[in-house]
Amino acid sequence: MSRNPAVLPADEWPHRVVRHTVTFVRHGQKNGPGFSADLTEKGRQDAYLAGERIRYPLDLVMASPSPRAISTAMAIREGNGSHAKLVVEEQLAEPGLGLYTDFNDAMRAFFLCIRSIIDENRAETIVAATHNYVVEYVAEVFRCRNAEPGLLEGITINLEDFFQVCESL
């Protein structure tokens, strides 16, 4: 890989999102347990503010099908003032809720699915609102120093590096 991305605090990562990147972000603060939990008002506000701080208009916003991830993605998009397409993708769901039961198979399919969506939409600046395990896995694959991101902390990956990993699967 040509770059070593880092897990950035929530108040820093949006400033570093630039063209030709995909940022994986954990959903904002949720209002309860379970799949159907949505965001708290603070979670919505934090996601909106994160979107406001992104330098470029977003080309594409993706989300897990969980209400908290969709709400995070929509608030980031709204805060950014973007009219980017919102894609809700099963591959961004939490373990046990997705299409695969084997974690390695799920993550292989995840990378290839995200690559396909990016290619199909010709997107250059992407945010994917997802869950902790996905962000941790991306951090591990790209050898980020801190693989335990908190709420709304993102990992920004150069698209060239992301595509290189996809080709190696």
Q: Which domains does the chain have, with CATH numbers?
A: 7-168 (3.40.50.1240)
Q: Please report where in the chains the tokens 């699967």 appear, as a residue.
A: 169
No. of helices (H) and no. of strands (E), the chain: 6, 6
Mean pLDDT (the chain, rounded): 79
Residue 1 pLDDT: 35
pLDDT digits (tens, 9 = 90+) for 76-96: 999 999 999 999 988 787 655
Residue 107: is its pLDDT beyond 60? Answer: yes
Residue 41 pLDDT: 95
Residue 17 pLDDT: 52
Residue 4 pLDDT: 38
* SS3 (DSSP) at 29: coil
> Mean pLDDT over residues 4-14, rounded?
47
To 5 degrees, how large is the angle CA 134–CA 27–CA 23?
60
Residue 53 pLDDT: 78
Residue 5 pLDDT: 42
Least confidently predicted of 43-57, 81-95, 97-111, 113-127: 97-111
Which residues, 6+ apart, have CB-to-CB distance to 98 below 8 Å?
A: 90, 91, 106
Residue 111: is its pLDDT beyond 70? Answer: yes
The residue ranking higher by pLDDT, 40 or 98, is 40
Residue 11 pLDDT: 52
Backbone angles phi, psi at 137, to 5 degrees: -65, -45
